[in-house]
Amino acid sequence: MISQEIKAVFGYLLLLASVIGFSIAFAATNYHGAVLTIVGGLLFWMIYLNVASVEIRRPTGAILIIFGVLLATAIFMAFGVEQDIWGGYRIKADGAILSLLILFFGVMPGLIFLYFQRKPVTTDLLVPQAAVPVATVPEAPSPVEAPEPQAVEEPAYQDWEDYQYLYDPEMAEAYYEAYSDYYESKEGDEEE
């Protein structure tokens, strides 16, 4: 039996042949032939996918978008541009609108394929919640091994002597004197 990868490669070769035929017809200004080549290649590829049971999911949307753009370009060149008597070109409104409609309806299935083939959106919380601590039961020590007693650490600054360097009464008194002298001098300046 032929593997899925080989079947998919053969399908991609059909698409490549269609694009090469489109490019040749487009370069030769045979826009009707370019439209037939691109539409025929896409139809043969779709039929091949169904007959050969090929499973390709992700590139399908991109392929439909590319072929929709190529088809709209060929339609625009065939029906939307007209050469006048003096060699200039002018855009025909009907052909331009037709090519825009083809572009819309050619690209939309590809966008739908891409949308539905995206990875699913996760619904995790944006802000992680703190885990609830689970009470664990410590394992009982074996009768042969007794646990060693652990030293208990004493918290720092238990005595008043540890806090003495944080508060100096003489420094506080000097601060309040300077503060009162400063504001007394300010009040005297304002009165004058």
Q: How would DSSP label each residue in 29-76? A: T-HHHHHHHHHHHHHHHHHHHHHHT----HHHHHHHHHHHHHHHHHHI
Which band of pLDDT confidence, cut at 50, 70 and 90, is reported for residue 43?
A: very high
Cα–Cα distance for residue pair 58/113, rounded to 1 Å: 8
Averaged pLDDT of the chain: 79
Burial profile 55-89: b = 16 or more Cβ within 10 angstroms, e = fewer:
eeeebbbebbbbbbbbbbbbbbbbbbeeeeeeeee
Q: What is the pLDDT of residue 9?
A: 85
**CA dihedral sign of residues 68, 74, 76, 78:** negative
Cα–Cα distance for residue pair 42/58, rounded to 1 Å: 16
Q: Are 74 and 26 in contact (CB under 8 A)?
A: yes
Tokens of 116: 């539905």
* pTM summary value: 0.57
Q: What is the bridge-based pairing of β-strands 89-91 and 81-83?
A: antiparallel
Strand partners, 89: 83
Which band of pLDDT confidence, cut at 50, 70 and 90, is reported for residue 28?
A: very high
Cα–Cα distance for residue pair 176/182, rounded to 1 Å: 10
Which band of pLDDT confidence, cut at 50, 70 and 90, is reported for residue 189?
A: low
Which band of pLDDT confidence, cut at 50, 70 and 90, is reported for residue 191?
A: low
Q: What is the mean pLDDT of residues 46-74?
A: 86
Q: What is the pLDDT of residue 175?
A: 78
Residue with tokens 């996760």: 122
pLDDT at 73 over 60: yes
**Nearest CA among 46, 102, 92 for reference residue 72:** 102
Q: What is the pLDDT of residue 180?
A: 79
- Least confident segment among 5-9, 25-29, 41-45, 181-185: 181-185
Q: What is the pLDDT of residue 122?
A: 58
Q: What is the pLDDT of residue 33?
A: 93
Task: Name residue 31's amino acid.
Answer: Y
Cα 94 → chain centroid: 38
Q: What is the pLDDT of residue 16?
A: 93
